[in-house]
Chain A
Amino acid sequence: DGGITQSPKYLFRKEGQNVTLSCEQNLNHDAMYWYRQDPGQGLRLIYYSQIVNDFQKGDIAEGYSVSREKKESFPLTVTSAQKNPTAFYLCASNPLGQGGQPQHFGDGTRLSIL
């Protein structure tokens, strides 16, 4: 079945450590997105990418980095510079075209600090 796969579902980070969250899609979508959700709040955009080898900062990019080497993959690295990384991270994708296109979401990764 087509969809978006995020892994792992749960991740623990030690102080000073970088961790990478995986997002893979087999929907042949052009655009991919990373969002962060804190408890009791809506989602906020971290990074997004329209095409391979190109990506843009969202509203809260500090302390995060991404890459887009393949159309189907958009990994997110939470660096040690992100001082409050505990959150729920969601990846999304959509096709591009004139007008808007609905975004589809993966099941998320919960990141906690040890």
Chain B
Amino acid sequence: GIQVEQSPPDLILQEGANSTLRCNFSDSVNNLQWFHQNPWGQLINLFYIPSGTKQNGRLSATTVATERYSLLYISSSQTTDSGVYFCAVAGTTDSWGKLQFGAGTQVVVTP
């Protein structure tokens, strides 16, 4: 099956800093989603981005499908950005659209 690797595994930021999270995947995809899991376990949809660039407030994401990677940018980080960020993909060969999750990036934003 499709492999998903996220980096870095852990990230500590001071409030106000910018950061970039990376997601590499091993095959062509027709679904790529970025999620934020908050301390209560809720999985929040950030972006549906199988290709291209999107922005939502202080967050933006870019997927370069031909090179099989996606980047999530966090600008002017706030303590509420703390949590785990997951990248999940579904391969084009999988007609069911099953998502394969990466291991996540644990982000801690300090005041």
Per-residue B-contact encoding for A39-69, CB less than 8 Å = 1, 0 else: 0011111001010000010100000000000
The reply to whether A43 and B30 contact each other, CB–CB distance below 8 Å, is no
Shortest beta-carbon distance from A22 to chain B in Å: 17
The reply to whether B101 and A108 contact each other, CB–CB distance below 8 Å, is no
B99 located at the interface, meaning its Cβ lies under 8 Å from any Cβ of chain A in the complex: yes
Per-residue A-contact encoding for B86-101, CB less than 8 Å = 1, 0 else: 1010100000111101
The reply to whether B103 and A108 contact each other, CB–CB distance below 8 Å, is no
The CA of A92 and the CA of B31, in the complex, are separated in Å by 15
The CA of A99 and the CA of B94, in the complex, are separated in Å by 10
A49 — nearest CB in chain B belongs to which residue?
A: B96
The reply to whether A110 and B98 contact each other, CB–CB distance below 8 Å, is no
Shortest beta-carbon distance from B63 to chain A in Å: 12
Q: Say yes or no: A31-B97 contact (C-beta < 8 A), given A100-B90, A107-B42, A110-B41.
A: yes
The reply to whether A103 and B33 contact each other, CB–CB distance below 8 Å, is yes
Within 8 A of A (CB), among B76-91: 86, 88, 90
The CA of A99 and the CA of B48, in the complex, are separated in Å by 12
The reply to whether B30 and A100 contact each other, CB–CB distance below 8 Å, is yes
Shortest beta-carbon distance from B103 to chain A in Å: 5
A84 located at the interface, meaning its Cβ lies under 8 Å from any Cβ of chain B in the complex: no
The reply to whether B103 and A103 contact each other, CB–CB distance below 8 Å, is no
B64 located at the interface, meaning its Cβ lies under 8 Å from any Cβ of chain A in the complex: no
Shortest beta-carbon distance from B45 to chain A in Å: 7
Chain B residues proximal to chain A, CB less than 8 Å:
29-33, 35, 41-43, 45, 48, 50, 86, 88, 90, 96-99, 101-104
